[in-house]
Amino acid sequence: MEYAQMNEAPSTVQEMRAGTDRRRKVREAVDEYWSTAAERAREAAAYADRQVHHNPWTAVGIGFGVGMVFGALVAMLASSQRSTMDRLL
């Protein structure tokens, strides 16, 4: 179907069936992708859970480090915004 015809109603039953088949195939592909992504997310969560249980202090250290980096970035952003506001006023 050409682009100009996309806004028009199908003229035959075959065109209607072809559109339905395409939508069904797209829906099946999306469902397959979604189930695969959900399964991979569950596997990643289970792996992270096992690693934290086997190495709790490593997990605490990583959490602390990520928190410090995040906090430093937020503090730098807040101070740069404050100095920008001081210059404007």
Tokens of 82: 């404050």
Domain range holding 61? 56-89
Is the pLDDT at 7 greater than 80, yes or no? no
DSSP state of 55: -
Residues 47 and 74 in one domain: no
User: In this predicted model, what pLDDT tens digit does every residue of 17-34 receive, in sequence order?
Assistant: 666 788 888 899 999 999
| Predicted confidence (pLDDT) per residue in 69-79, tens digit | 999 999 999 88
Dist CA 86 CA 89 (whole Å):
5
Let me know whether 78 and 45 are in one domain: no
What is the count of structural domains for the chain?
2
Q: Is 50 in the same domain as 60?
A: no
44 in the same domain as 84:
no
Give the C-alpha separation, 2 to 7, whole Å: 10
7 with 46, same domain: the answer is yes
> Is-contact 59 52, C-beta < 8 A?
yes
In a shared domain, residues 40 and 6: yes
